[in-house]
Amino acid sequence: MRSNASSTRYSSASIGRTLFGLYCLGAALDFHSSQDVGNTFQICLGAFCCLVFALFALNVRRTKSSLTLLRRVAWLWWVYLATTPLVALLRGYDFTHYLRVALPQFLMGTSLMMGYLLLSESKANAALIFKGLFYCSICSSLIYLIRGLTSGASLENLRYTIASPLLIIVVSFALYRLLFEGAKSGFLNLVALVGGLCVVFLTVTRSYYVSIASLILAIALILFRPPSWLKRGLRRRLIWNLVLLSLVLGVFAAGMTIMFPDVLAHWSARSASLGAQDPTTLTRLAEAAGEIEAMRADTSHLLFGSGLGSEHKYDERLLIGVAEAKAEASGINFSPGHIGWVYQFYACGLLLGWVSLFAFIVAIWKGNSSQTPYVARMAGIAVIAVFVTSTMGNMLGDRSSGLGMGLLIALSLYGVESAEKAPKARQVIRRRILLSRLSRPALGGSISPSASVE
């Protein structure tokens, strides 16, 4: 029979897993609301996630963890969040805009803490976090796709509503697992990859293709700098899986082209506009240029930022002769900027704008180390894909992306610290064994000085 202590520990872990599942449910059910209707459901969903996190933090067992880097990144993020309301009050703009933009960042902070608490309790919880991320990303992508296809929107507007903020996480996880695990990754993993690629094709979004290319390059790097878990047999199997994947992608591309000729025509039209007259690129650059100009014009804005949720305008000099882009940029915009890294400095200034960029760079650097274990390396590669996507889209623009990114960064950071501790632990053990041998008395009495040196 279990002792009282072990029974309590088991019950606490069971409650923690249930609360973690409910927390991930918030990311799975999140979706865009139309601009002309209320967003009561989304507000309730955000409040529900915050409540579940509070219950989780109260329930979790306190342990003496050595995940120092993850803990420091989490606390740095919370210090950053605690100071952003001061800038909002200083600027004196509508505080509801701040709450709308800051909620995803707040949920990223709760996810960082939840990931830290789970991994501190047990390293085996890395698999639990992976499953939560993977399944909630699949559900979110499915909900976005169904809502988009049933909205009756044209192809031009449909591509804005069918892509979940967690879509690139689904594609990166599924692609990684398919290459390294092959058929063992399961039928659901294959369906998730094919479904994610279908959505990418229908969105006509070029940055997704750049993200997938970065995924393949990051996985190819594993072949040149193999980690400790990549054995010789697995390496040969990976090359064979790459060949099979190229054949599958070829068949997939041909099938999508035949089934959706209008989408292919739209791809051709968008590709032909690349260059000086591309409306999407020019709008993004004009937005970033306007934010940079606002920072340069005022020293206080340069140092402390304009505030999360503040109004940001476009530099119309970049939109001369492009009527479509100029019409899109004519309105007042309070939502997060499309080029996420420029917007972070615009909103938070040089004082705090680097925090988000720092968290991503550390996650990429540590998550793709040769010492990182299998699951953490998968998360590190997914962070690369999100980082690339964020060059033309804000990575924390929606609540569900904030929930997912915090867990993803936590998962990518835990592994390298665990791997670095193992050699140190072995060194300590060897040193203790050596000292015990040296201090052992000889058969005839005490040990001699010459033997002690040996």
Residue 443: pLDDT band (50, 70, 90) is: very low
Residue 370: pLDDT band (50, 70, 90) is: confident
| pLDDT greater than 50 at residue 266 | yes
Provide CB contacts within 8 A for 267, sequence distance 6+: 204
- Higher-pLDDT residue of 236, 28: 28
| pLDDT greater than 80 at residue 4 | no
Report the C-alpha gap between 119 and 71 in whole angstroms: 11
| pLDDT greater than 90 at residue 67 | no
Report the C-alpha gap between 35 and 317 in whole angstroms: 28
Provide CB contacts within 8 A for 377, sequence distance 6+: 222, 227, 367, 368, 415
pLDDT of residue 104: 87
Q: Over the stretch 39-64, which tens digit does the pLDDT of each residue have?
A: 677 778 888 888 999 999 888 776 66
- Higher-pLDDT residue of 119, 321: 119
Q: Over the stretch 12-38, which tens digit does the pLDDT of each residue have?
A: 678 888 899 899 988 888 876 655 445
Q: How is the chain split into domains, by residue range?
A: 7-272+353-435, 276-352
Report the C-alpha gap between 342 and 314 in whole angstroms: 13
Mean pLDDT of 423-443: 44
Nearest Cα residue to 439 out of 452, 453, 450: 452
- Higher-pLDDT residue of 451, 434: 434
Burial class of 243 by CB neighbour count within 10 A (0 to 12, 13 to 18, 19+): exposed
DSSP annotation of 445 reads B
Report the C-alpha gap between 194 and 197 in whole angstroms: 5
Report the C-alpha gap between 28 and 50 in whole angstroms: 15
Q: Over the stretch 156-213, which tens digit does the pLDDT of each residue have?
A: 677 778 888 899 999 999 999 988 888 888 899 989 998 999 888 888 888 888 898 8
pLDDT, the chain, mean: 79
Percent over 90 (pLDDT), the chain: 22
Residue 328: pLDDT band (50, 70, 90) is: low
